[in-house]
């Protein structure tokens, strides 16, 4: 089996990290060499960028500044972690990726999809996921999963912003066509996991990188 790049993304509190872990375990048990990573912060420098982005003490950031910081994290992550792993034939499962910048800064933050995508293209060198799994969730349900006392700088954005994030992910997945799926993340963890495994097992298309 060739290398695959799978991204899990969605609004805050959608359960993507739990699902990514379950997916990684299942793939490992099936004998797939898999690496689990995340953004922001999948590298040592990225961890520092993450702190700037998520610490409420940073204060307000212009969406362009925010996007550039997420893209700086992404450029480092792609070149030093994701690409080397894919080149070694590993499957990479990543929590959040370019989709988050397109949606949070581009769609919800007002920078616009297009400018956000241009920055993403520079940061990723054109690398795109083979499959983007978006977990859609009701805002109220998502809030229940979050610790109100310890919301990070972006989680503290208005409800309106997070509504647009939810919309933005659906719109983004639509633009991506068959390389993206939107799943109902309001359901029990096991049910969502089962659906993800069905998609991976049945829709496991030939690796576009393999010649």
192 Rama sector, left if φ>0, alpha if ψ -120 to 50, beta otherwise: alpha
* Nearest distance, CB of residue 76 and ligand TYD, angstroms: 13
From 26-34, 75-83, 96-104, 168-176, give the range in contact with ligand TYD by CB under 6 A.
96-104
* Nearest distance, CB of residue 105 and ligand TYD, angstroms: 6
Distance CA 36, CA 71 (A): 19
Distance CA 8, CA 133 (A): 5
Residue 182's DSSP bridge partners are 134
* Closer residue to ligand TYD (CB): 104 or 169: 104
Does 107 bind ligand TYD (CB under 6 A)? Our answer is no
* Closer residue to ligand TYD (CB): 36 or 96: 96
* Nearest distance, CB of residue 181 and ligand TYD, angstroms: 19
Distance CA 56, CA 175 (A): 32
Does 132 bind ligand TYD (CB under 6 A)? Our answer is no
Does 104 bind ligand TYD (CB under 6 A)? Our answer is yes
Does 172 bind ligand TYD (CB under 6 A)? Our answer is no
From 78-86, 124-132, 149-157, 182-190, give the range in contact with ligand TYD by CB under 6 A.
149-157
- For binding to ligand TYD (CB under 6 A), which residues are involved? 12, 39-40, 54, 70, 95-96, 100-101, 104-105, 152, 154-155
């Amino acid at each position: 089996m060739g290398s695959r790049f799978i991204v899990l993304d969605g609004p805050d509190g959608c359960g993507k990290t739990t699902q990514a872990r379950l997916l990684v375990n299942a793939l490992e048990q099936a004998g797939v060499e898999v690496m689990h990573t995340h953004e922001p912060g999948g590298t040592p420098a990225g961890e520092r960028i993450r702190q700037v982005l998520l610490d409420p003490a940073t204060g307000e950031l212009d969406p362009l500044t925010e996007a550039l910081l997420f893209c700086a994290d992404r450029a480092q992550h792609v070149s030093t972690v994701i690409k080397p792993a894919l080149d070694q034939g590993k499957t990479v499962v990543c929590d959040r990726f370019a989709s988050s910048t397109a949606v949070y800064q581009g769609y919800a933050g007002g920078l616009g999809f297009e400018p956000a995508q241009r920055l993403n293209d520079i940061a990723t060198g054109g690398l795109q996921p083979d499959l983007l799994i978006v977990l859609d969730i009701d805002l109220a349900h998502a809030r229940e999963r979050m610790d109100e006392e310890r919301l990070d700088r972006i989680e503290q954005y208005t409800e309106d912003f997070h509504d647009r994030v939810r919309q933005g992910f659906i719109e983004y997945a639509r633009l991506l066509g068959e390389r993206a799926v939107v799943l109902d993340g309001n359901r029990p963890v096991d049910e969502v996991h089962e659906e993800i495994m069905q998609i991976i097992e049945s829709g496991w298309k030939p690796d576009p990188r393999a010649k």
